Chains A and B, each alone.
Chain A
Amino acid sequence: MSDAALDGLGPVDYVVVEFPPGSSNFTGEMAAELIALVDSGTIRLIDVLVLTKADDGSVEAMELSDVGELGELRALETELAELLAAEDVAHLAAAMDPGTTAGVLVWENVWAAPLASAVRRSGGQLIADGRIPIQAIIASIEADEATATEGE
């Protein structure tokens, strides 16, 4: 990839979404939302893996194309960059409970690329980033409420 192409690359994120036994309810809604994000140019889907962790802790990884009927996802599957390596599987699966299945999604935040480029051109450099869990927001609100109650 050239420097110019790299300069225009948005931040790349991943998630591991676990489906405990008996809780999966695949209606096509997830695929539709994913396709909408790609079609709107919000993200570019880079990679997808499906992991299963057996009760004994052994892990099996599957390509998206190996997962039954893909429907509308087929178009996205053909565009995947296959960024993840086989050695990533164990690291990703470390978060999974035995007996579960998980989807791993890797995507480029296309929406953020112009801002990231502008920041770099302005001399800025990313020194930290992260995600604030909803639980942390709730805890903060509850602590505020407790403090307010004490002050009454």
Chain B
Amino acid sequence: MPLRPARVGRVGVIRAPVAKTAVVAKAVTPGPAPIAKTAVVAAAVTPGRRRRRI
């Protein structure tokens, strides 16, 4: 079905072709230990867990 007429002839807001990002679902879905991997990622974004002094 066609898009609504209001969308036609307007200047778009997506300025360039969109590149495909890595498929996020695959990073946290089943592998040998999906729960463990999810927990590790969660720990990485928990306050103070990985911060080091430079």
> Footprint of B on A, CB under 8 Å?
14, 16, 49, 61-63, 66, 82-92, 94-97, 133-135, 137-138, 140-141, 144
Contact = CB atoms under 8 A, between A and B. Distances in A.
B6 interface: yes
Given A85-B10, A135-B27, A138-B37, A95 B20 contact: yes
B48 to A, nearest CB: 15
Given A83-B13, A86-B9, A87-B10, A94 B19 contact: yes
14 contacts: A14-B14, A61-B3, A63-B4, A82-B7, A84-B7, A84-B13, A85-B7, A85-B11, A86-B3, A87-B11, A95-B19, A134-B27, A135-B24, A137-B45
A-side binding surface: helix, strand, loop or mixed? mixed
Contacts, number: 80
Interface residues of B, number: 29
A137 B16 CA distance: 27
